[in-house]
Amino acid sequence: MDGRVMPAAEAVIPVDDRSFLYGDGLFESLPWHSGRLFRWREHWDRLSEGARFLGIRMPHDEARVRAGIRAITEGLDTPTATVRLHLSRGSGLRGYSPRGADAPRLILTVHPAPAMPAGGWAALRLKTCTTFAVAAGDPIAAHKSANKLLNVLARAEAEAAGFDEALLVNTEGMVTESSSGNVFWWEQGRLHTPPLSAGALPGVTRGAILDAARDLGWQVTETAAPPSRLADSEGVFLTFSTRGLVPASALDSRPLPKADGQAALERAFLDRCDREWEPV
C-alpha cells in the first residue's frame, strides 16, 4: 500500500475513499504458487481495461505492481497463496461526482489459498437467486468492480436457504454466472456456458476452461438459457480463480448428474494450468 509493505492491521484507508464509500473501484484475485502466478497477463489486462472503462488512472505500471507482489509474497512459509489487487479511485469530495478524486490507490494483499481436500472439491448445491437480477446488457458486468452488493445478497439468500452458492439470472431470466464464479453445463454431450452479453464476467478461469476444451478438440457453445435448462442438463460445474473447476451436485434441490466428459476436461484444465504458471 502506497509502495510500502506492512501488516494488514496497519493498512488503513481514509473514510472518504470512494471504493469504501461507493464501491468505486476494481479488484483481481490471482492464484500464487512458489513465486509464480496463473495467467498474470489476463488478470492484468482485465484490471487495466476496467480502469480505462471507469476512467481511473492506474497509479503504478505493471513492473512496479509485479515488484510489489514479489515483496508481499517474499518469505511466505506456504507454497500456495492468493494475491489480491484492489484499485480504488481514491479520496474525493463528498457526493457521487468523481471530480477531485485524482489520487487513485492500488492495494496489494496476500491471503491463504483454499486447500483442496484429498478427494477434490466438494460438489456445490446451487440455488437460483429469485430476489435480485443482473441487468441484461449492463456494460459494468464485464468488469470486476468493487461493487458486489448483488453478489453478496444473492449468496446470503442461498446460504440462508441451506445452499452453498447462488445462481444468478439476468432481467430476461437467463443464467449469467454464480455469485462468485462462471457457469458451464453439458447438453447432449456438448459443453455450454452463458455468453458474456448475458451479463457474465469474462473470468480468467473460464477462459482457461475454454482453451482446455479446445485442447480436447471440443466445441463450447455460448448459450443463453434459463435455470430450468441447467436443471435438465447432463451436469453443471462452476469455475473460480482460487479453486479452478468445481462440480455442482444440485440446483434448487434437484440432483444434478456428473457428465461423462468432466474427468477428461478436468485433466486437460490441470495440464494447461501446469504450463501457464508465470514467474512474478
Residue 66, domain member (yes or no): yes
Mean pLDDT value of segment 34-44: 96
The dihedral over CA atoms of 129, 131, 135, 136, expressed in degrees to the nearest 10, equals 50
H or E stretch covering 38:
strand 36-38
Higher model confidence: residue 30 or residue 3? 30
Pairing of strands 25-33, 80-88: antiparallel
Containing structural domain, residue 66: 8-112
Residue 2, domain member (yes or no): no
- 10 Å CB burial of residue 82 (0-12, 13-18, 19+) is middle
Residue 118, domain member (yes or no): no
Instruction: Judge if 152 and 206 occupy the same domain.
Output: yes
List C-alpha distances in Å: 174 to 34, 107, 232.
Answer: 40, 35, 15
What is the CATH number for 34? 3.30.470.10
Phi and psi, residue 250, nearest 5°: -160, 150
Is the model's pLDDT at 260 over the cut of 90?
no
Instruction: Judge if 157 and 237 occupy the same domain.
Output: yes
Kindly state the cell numbers that stand for 25: 473501484
The reported pLDDT for the residue numbered 251 is 98
- What type of residue sits at position 20? F
Is the model's pLDDT at 55 over the cut of 90?
yes
H or E stretch covering 189:
none
Instruction: Judge if 251 and 166 occupy the same domain.
Output: yes
Please list the residues that pair with 17 across neighbouring strands.
91
Boundary (domain end) residue, out of 112, 145, 176:
112
What is the CATH number for 145? 3.20.10.10
Instruction: Judge if 84 and 40 occupy the same domain.
Output: yes
Is the model's pLDDT at 2 over the cut of 90?
no
Instruction: Judge if 144 and 14 occupy the same domain.
Output: no
Is the model's pLDDT at 29 over the cut of 90?
yes
The reported pLDDT for the residue numbered 81 is 97
Residue 195, domain member (yes or no): yes
The reported pLDDT for the residue numbered 240 is 96
Boundary (domain end) residue, out of 72, 90, 112:
112
Cα 10 → chain centroid:
27
Instruction: Judge if 159 and 88 occupy the same domain.
Output: no
Kindly state the cell numbers that stand for 24: 468505486
Instruction: Judge if 172 and 235 occupy the same domain.
Output: yes
Instruction: Judge if 128 and 214 occupy the same domain.
Output: yes
Instruction: Judge if 168 and 57 occupy the same domain.
Output: no
Mean pLDDT value of segment 224-240: 97
The reported pLDDT for the residue numbered 128 is 98
The reported pLDDT for the residue numbered 114 is 87
Residue 119, domain member (yes or no): no
Boundary (domain end) residue, out of 89, 112, 135:
112
The string of pLDDT tens digits covering residues 130-166 is 999 999 999 999 999 999 999 999 999 999 999 999 9
The reported pLDDT for the residue numbered 38 is 96
Higher model confidence: residue 260 or residue 170? 170
Residue 91, domain member (yes or no): yes
Instruction: Judge if 136 and 270 occupy the same domain.
Output: yes
Residue 151, domain member (yes or no): yes
Domain count, the chain: 2
Could you give the percent of the chain with pLDDT greater than 70? 100
The string of pLDDT tens digits covering residues 185-196 is 999 989 999 999
| Residue 27 pLDDT grade (very low, low, confident, very high; cuts 50, 70, 90) | very high
Look up the pTM and report it: 0.94
Instruction: Judge if 257 and 146 occupy the same domain.
Output: yes
What is the spatial distance between Cα 130 and Cα 141, in angstroms, rounded to a whole number? 19
What is the spatial distance between Cα 17 and Cα 11, in angstroms, rounded to a whole number? 13
The reported pLDDT for the residue numbered 120 is 85
Residue 3, domain member (yes or no): no
Q: Where are the alpha helices (DSSP H) in 74-221?
A: 149-160, 204-215
The string of pLDDT tens digits covering residues 56-97 is 999 999 999 999 999 999 989 999 999 999 999 999 999 999
The string of pLDDT tens digits covering residues 90-123 is 999 999 999 999 999 999 999 999 888 888 899 9
Instruction: Judge if 144 and 271 occupy the same domain.
Output: yes
